[in-house]
Amino acid sequence: RQYQTTPAVTNSGIPDYAFAFDIDGVLVRTSAPLPGASQALKHLQSERIPFILLTNGGGKSEEERVSDLQNKLDVELDTSMIVQSHTPFADLTDLHDKTVLVAGGDYDKCQLVAQKYGFKNVVTPGDIVFLDYYKSFAKPLPKPIIPHSTSEEALKIDAMFVYNDPRDWGLDAHIILDALLSESGYLGTVSKKNNNISLPNKGYLQDSQPPFYYSNPDMWWATSYHLSRLGQGGFTAAFDGLWSSVTGGAHLPKTIIGKPHQETYEFAERRLRAHRKQLFGQVGLNDPLRRVYMIGDNPESDIRGANNYRSPYGSQWTSVLIKTGVWKEGTEPAHKPHVVRENVLDAVRWAVEDAR
Ligand code: G3P
Ligand code: MG
């Protein structure tokens, strides 16, 4: 059934609303497009209604994810329209010249992503496990495809990132733990303070710990399997247990970005506004973006984030929960959406009516 969209427009005819789409469980499940996804995006593009893709997924470059989605959904996209879990890390320019550990996902792909962001010295657990002083504890992985320029002497890790759901939880956890307990990030050392069990919290002290960033808090996500699968939040919970057991309950300072966090939604809105400006050329003060419809499948990230988001740019976000992903109909969503719809196409149909 065709439906007419007479979008709410500004004085210069620019739509005053837009969309943010979650990806996994909304547009695709692993490699399979979900019902109505292609039609929904094509419709918005034909009506020139701006949208971005806002995902806690990652582990590959924005270019590669966009290319995958273009093929699966038969829709023209570009990297200005996507925010992945780790995309905001590019802005940590004060770390671009430092040595950073990037754990999680496919090590070589995540290393390339970090390098694309401007990080010049990126090591992964796949590099480190090859170094002589590390070979003893873990069976070496197949030789990394890209000969990483990792020298043999003890590495000093200045910051640690988890870019995507770890594949080898044990290896990633062990190397992150080593760095956290080390003397100022020197792998292969143990901070003398951490040897002094008389100190409070068994010696954990923040001044010797490299900053630690996670990119995605999702405990569960929707794949082609019928049951939701553990996401990066599962690894975080496991590592918290490991840290607590090893240090006797010491505090572990960490930064977690991704949906539902305010900063991630602000980053996404800046991307959406830039994309809207790119779409319409000049967008003036008389062309406000008043409403953004967040279409998601996960109450914890998509719905909670949109409900709690307070835009510093003046837009109101409306959460729309759909039934094709993590949330299961008949269960009470932990965070109440503005509306529930069957799938992404129904959600878009509802929103374009709501926006009139
Ligand atoms: O790793 C991907 C998963 O955490 C969820 O991705 O697209 O549903 O935010 P998405
Ligand atoms: Mg999702």
**Percent of the residues in the chain that have a pLDDT greater than 70, as a whole number:** 87
Give the model's confidence band at 137: pLDDT under 50 very low, under 70 low, under 90 confident, else very high: low
pLDDT in tens, 218-230: 999 999 999 999 9
pTM for the model = 0.91
- Report percent pLDDT > 90 for the chain: 74
Task: Scan for tokens 């796949």, then name that residue.
Answer: 126
Residue 7 burial by Cβ neighbours in a 10 Å radius (0-12, 13-18, 19+): middle
Ligand 1 contact, 56 CB (< 6 A): yes
Using a 6 Å cutoff on CB, does residue 25 contact ligand 1?
Answer: yes
Q: Which residue type, as a one-letter code, is found at position 279?
A: L
Average pLDDT, the chain: 89
Q: What is the ipTM of this complex?
A: 0.98
Give me the residue label for tokens 């980053």.
Answer: 267
- Of 100, 181, 106, 168, whose CA–CA distance to 139 is shortest? 168
Q: Which residues line ion ligand 2, judged by CB < 5 Å?
A: 22, 24-25, 297-298, 325
Give the number of the ligand closest to the Cα of residue 163: 1
Q: Ligand 1 in contact with 231 (CB < 6 A)?
A: yes
